[in-house]
């Protein structure tokens, strides 16, 4: 079910009558894109602050409100959206609805609240994390402000003011651009009541939605390989490819990514790990945005094997572009069909599937769509994606 309320907020429902749990997932579109230069990290900070005070309620009381019903409120800041999710037993649905609805209300943050949460974010900044993944994303966005780490930097976090935070929260939580995803055993009358609860949220009709498409993304029509080498601590090889959603559907691209590097039988794993023994694991995946996406493969390299690693990976991509490994495809498809049946056991997991697929409405549809993907589809995707004009190569070497 998909409904748009009078204030512009969208509600999507997947009824799972066999579920004992209910998941409410709030998706706020384009938070990062609404940031201005010099304020990187304000969206992530607002997401954090939503856990510090709730309608003026003290943090400990808010946490008690969530956990006494067996819930666990989660927040996530992505590059083009912010997510809040809570899963509870069906009998606690109205408490969960009240929590998600309350996120839109005035928080009454004090200067002390903001100071304390800034310190939490600064502690997160001290963690190194996957440094080469962050650099790869920065390069994908053409070394633009949009591609900087979502969390921001110390000097930008410290100078963000209370007024700026409150105004950014107001824009972020506008009904227009907000989407509520509801998964579980819910009745028509409950859905109607939920619509009534959310229909009075203000909508800022003049809210500008900024385009975060990398400039280079739409102009790659010739050989345009971008290669970067940075003097940083450690060694890593990152190879990424643009995904044009007009040419390749996201689920086909994800299946190709799995076939190339995710499974035990994938060509990259068999060649680099099992045959040559020069890597332990491959970090690979796809990330999608409104404009398209990126498929990436990250490898940590030792000093002597870095050149050999790059040459071998290039050879594997060339081979698979010409003729995709049939058995690797079959294993990848099984992961998206047979193994995907585990999603049916939890409303939470399927809510996230819906959040990142605007056209998904039922679990059966998810399985059917994946079952419809053929070897020819994924082979054609390899020919479209694994082209040199789509590639960015990052080699980090101390």
Residue 206, SS3 per DSSP:
coil
pTM above 0.95, yes or no: no
Confidence band for 266, pLDDT divided at 50, 70 and 90: very high
Would you identify the CATH topology of the domain 2-198? Answer: Cytochrome Bc1 Complex; Chain A, domain 1 (3.30.830)
Q: How far apart are CA 180 and CA 86, in angstroms?
A: 12
- Using alpha carbons only, give the angle 297, 302, 307 rounded to the nearest 5 degrees: 70
Instruction: Report the share of the chain in percent with pLDDT over 90.
Output: 56
Q: Is the pLDDT of residue 342 over 80?
A: no
Return mean pLDDT, the chain: 88
Instruction: Tell me the two tokens of residue 242.
Output: 């643009």
Confidence band for 305, pLDDT divided at 50, 70 and 90: confident
Domain map (residue ranges) of the chain: 2-198, 217-397
pLDDT per residue as tens digits for the range 119-175: 999 998 887 667 778 888 888 888 888 888 899 989 999 999 999 999 999 989 999
Sheet holding 2-4, edge to edge: 2-4, 10-15, 178-184, 21-29, 81-89, 74-77
Identical topology for domains 2-198 and 217-397: yes
- Homologous superfamily (CATH) for 217-397: Metalloenzyme, LuxS/M16 peptidase-like (3.30.830.10)
pLDDT value at residue 380: 97
Q: How far apart are CA 397 and CA 19, in angstroms?
A: 50
In 80-227, where does DSSP find H-type helix?
93-102, 111-126, 131-140, 154-159, 162-172, 188-198
Q: Is the pLDDT of residue 388 over 70?
A: yes
pLDDT value at residue 364: 85
Q: How far apart are CA 273 and CA 312, in angstroms?
A: 11
Q: Is the pLDDT of residue 224 over 80?
A: no
């Amino acid at each position: 079910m998909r409904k748009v309320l009078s204030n512009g907020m969208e509600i999507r429902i997947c009824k799972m009558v066999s579920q004992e749990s209910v998941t409410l997932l709030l998706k706020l579109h384009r938070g990062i894109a609404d940031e201005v230069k010099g304020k990187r990290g304000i969206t992530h900070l607002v997401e954090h602050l939503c856990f510090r005070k709730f309608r003026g309620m003290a943090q400990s009381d808010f946490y008690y409100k969530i956990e006494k019903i067996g819930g666990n409120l989660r927040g996530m800041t992505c590059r083009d959206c912010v997510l809040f999710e809570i899963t509870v037993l069906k009998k606690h649905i109205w408490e969960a609805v009240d929590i998600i609805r309350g996120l839109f209300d005035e928080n009454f943050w004090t200067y002390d609240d903001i100071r304390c949460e800034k310190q939490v974010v600064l502690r997160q900044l001290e963690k190194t994390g996957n440094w080469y993944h962050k650099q790869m994303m920065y390069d994908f966005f053409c070394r633009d402000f949009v591609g900087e780490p979502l969390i921001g930097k110390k000097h930008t976090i410290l100078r963000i003011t209370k007024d700026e935070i409150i105004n950014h929260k107001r824009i972020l939580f506008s009904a227009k651009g907000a989407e509520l995803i509801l998964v579980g055993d819910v009745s028509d009358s409950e859905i109607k009541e939920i619509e009534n609860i959310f229909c009075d949220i203000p909508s800022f009709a003049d809210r500008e939605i900024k385009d975060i498409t990398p400039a280079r993304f739409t102009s790659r029509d010739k050989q345009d390989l971008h290669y970067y080498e940075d003097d940083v601590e450690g060694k890593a090889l990152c190879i990424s490819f643009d995904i044009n959603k007009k040419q390749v559907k996201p689920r086909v691209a994800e299946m190709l990514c799995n076939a190339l590097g995710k499974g035990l039988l994938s060509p990259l794993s068999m060649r680099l790990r099992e045959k040559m023994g020069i890597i332990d694991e491959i970090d690979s995946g796809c990330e999608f945005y409104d404009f398209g996406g990126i498929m990436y493969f990250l490898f940590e390299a030792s000093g002597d094997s870095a050149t050999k690693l790059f040459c071998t990976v290039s050879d594997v991509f060339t081979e698979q572009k010409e003729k995709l490994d049939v058995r690797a495809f079959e294993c990848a498809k099984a992961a998206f069909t047979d193994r995907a049946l585990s999603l049916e056991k939890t409303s939470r997991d399927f809510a996230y599937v819906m959040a990142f697929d605007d056209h998904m409405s039922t679990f059966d549809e998810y399985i059917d769509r994946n079952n419809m993907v053929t070897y020819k589809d994924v082979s054609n995707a390899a020919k479209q994606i694994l082209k040199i004009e789509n590639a960015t190569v990052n080699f980090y070497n101390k």
